[in-house]
Chains A and B, each alone.
Chain A
Amino acid sequence: MSGTGQHAPTRHKVHPGTGGDTLGADRAAAGGGPRGAAELAGRLAQMTVVWYVVAVLLVWLAWEIAIVVGGTPDYLLPTPSQVASAFRTYREPLQHHAWFTTREVLIAFALSVAGGVLLAIPVAFFKSVERVAYPLIVMMQAVPKVALGPLFIVWFGFGLSTNVVIGVSVAIFPVIVNTALGLTGIDPDLVRLGRSMGGSPMRLFWLVRLPTALPSIFAGLKVAVTFAVIGAVVGEFIVGGSGLGYLTVSASGNQNVPLLFASVIALAVLGVLFYAAIDVAERLVLRHHPQSGNRG
């Protein structure tokens, strides 16, 4: 994310005393070499997707090495081709369970965002609410959500709703905390200016406070979407029956390691896609906010 800004700081940090370094850096920056290729490499380096591909290829390489060089038996570590064929063989159940997990995550995330932002407003605007809310939040976060699973099953039954509730119970906190932080972190002079323009509290909220809080809110959303996936999968572990989390447990029980790998990979892909969706939304919404200035 910060890839674009990496050159300037290292160059400016050089102290006047270490003139040699400065010269070296300048020469490197002026760079004689083939300019076109360097430019292309630079442009590629700015594309996040490229780095994801590189990372996946590295994992793949390590995987192959572990099999070929390490001689790991395939009932512990299947070969990539075995996993690929598991994807083909189990396409239907994988799709079915992935869709189930996707729905859980989407609902849990939506509820966390709506509830989290709404709850954050009184936390941000009333000191007394804030004082009570933070101990509550800390206490709630200290409880391992897995431990609440059996209780939620009693309350909500063996189904999607229990997994959603577990998802919300983890994902809502980063939304509350970051939204409250963003709303309280506003420059008080900006509020005074708005009031001198005749802004009502409502208009100040929509026109100044909320837009100012957006970068912080998005930081919370990114954490929340990851937490929602974790919460949903934890729910599936406990509740069973459906979802990619359940599929991993069941594949593990059947010693079907290729399927186990396939469902874990499917979960990873889902997680990355959710995160990427928020990231894209953030870039769109915050394209004029200074914090996102050098992201291209």
Chain B
Amino acid sequence: MTGSTTAKYPAAAAAGLPLRAEGLGKTFRSARGAAVRALDGIDLSIAPGEFVSILGPSGCGKSTLLAILAGLDKATQGAAVVGGKPVTAPLVDAGVMFQRDLLLDWHTCEDNILMQFKMRGQPTAPHRDRARELLALVGMESAAQRYPRELSGGMRQRVAICRALVHEPPLLFLDEPFGALDALTRENLNTELAALTAHSGATVVFVTHGIDEAVFLGDRAVVMSARPGRIIADVRIDLPHPRGAHIRELPEFTAYTARLRKLLAHDGRPDHREGVRP
């Protein structure tokens, strides 16, 4: 599964798109009318082809940020700009993977992946092989004709990843794509994703709770504070490319993870800094 040959990956079909958030804020109205501030003053600029990991405590607005960037939700302050244009409608150029797999129960895994084309009103037949290749890449080749309810949570998640990748999008929004996987499968898929995105040149926004994979995959790691989500750190990860398993052995790798862990533990809230008040 890990023997990464270039044949498995498509050549850079479309260069990644640049992406910006300008003073993004989001306030939800709860059913009882109370205001919930999920995001506050998010400024973020992502270069074409860059891989940005987003870390932050649960409930800090990571999924909300991703939805706004992908044009699936509206910001209440500021704007998202993709490829120089403000985002006003869902970005159909993007590959989006939600936190939940959202597979359609009445389709096989393969047909779930091909939904990507059906929804666009395109024929699915030319893409069947690519769908199978991707399934093989995530170790799911034997599940192509199975139905989602026969699969485990981690298996379903891997099918959802394939669905987000199959149309080779220049933009990828991944919300905890490996959350339900065992450590080993997760590391293998990290390597595959690194190779895949390096070859396609896609711009990637990758939300995760895994500090390890944030460093392993990211060109940058952005750390958010607890709600309302603000960016409290934006760490450039200067590790060599291509990213392979050996990277985890580097002392720099450990230094990055330690630094991010500390940032996350402090959470950006003064009351968490154990008596140290500036």
A195 touches B105 (CB 8 A): no
Chain B residues with CB under 8 A of A194: 119
Known: A207-B115, A289-B106. A197 touches B120 (CB 8 A): yes
- Of residues 258 to 296 in A, which have CB atoms within 8 Å of B's CB atoms? 286, 288-290, 293
Is A211 located at the chain interface by the 8 A CB criterion? yes
Q: Which of A96-104, A147-155, A184-192, A236-244 contacts B (4 or more CB under 8 A)?
A: A184-192
Is A193 located at the chain interface by the 8 A CB criterion? yes
A197 touches B115 (CB 8 A): yes
Chain B residues with CB under 8 A of A204: 119
Chain A residues with CB under 8 A of B67: 192
Identify A197's interface contact among B100, B116, B147, B149, CB under 8 A.
Answer: B116
Q: Which of B90-98, B135-143, B204-212, B259-267 contacts A (4 or more CB under 8 A)?
A: B90-98
From DSSP, what is the main secondary structure of chain A's interface residues?
Answer: helix
B72 touches A195 (CB 8 A): yes
Is B215 located at the chain interface by the 8 A CB criterion? no
Report the count of interface residues on A (CB-CB < 8 A). Answer: 22
Known: A203-B119, A203-B121, A207-B115. A196 touches B104 (CB 8 A): no
Q: How far is the CA of A196 from the CA of B163 in the complex (A)?
A: 12
A211 touches B72 (CB 8 A): no
Smallest Cβ-Cβ distance to B71: which chain A residue: A196
Nearest CB of chain A from residue B16's CB, rounded to whole Å:
17
A198 touches B70 (CB 8 A): no
Is A208 located at the chain interface by the 8 A CB criterion? yes
| Chain B interface (Cβ < 8 Å from any Cβ of A) | 67, 70-73, 90-92, 94, 96, 98, 100, 102, 104-107, 115-116, 118-121, 147, 149
17 A-B pairs within 8 Å (CB atoms) are namely: A187-B102, A190-B104, A192-B67, A192-B90, A192-B98, A196-B90, A196-B92, A197-B115, A199-B120, A203-B119, A203-B121, A211-B106, A288-B106, A289-B105, A290-B105, A290-B149, A293-B149
| Chain A interface (Cβ < 8 Å from any Cβ of B) | 187, 189-190, 192-200, 203-204, 207-208, 211, 286, 288-290, 293
A-B pairs, 10 with minimum CB distance: A198-B92, A197-B119, A199-B119, A195-B90, A196-B96, A198-B120, A288-B106, A192-B72, A196-B90, A290-B149
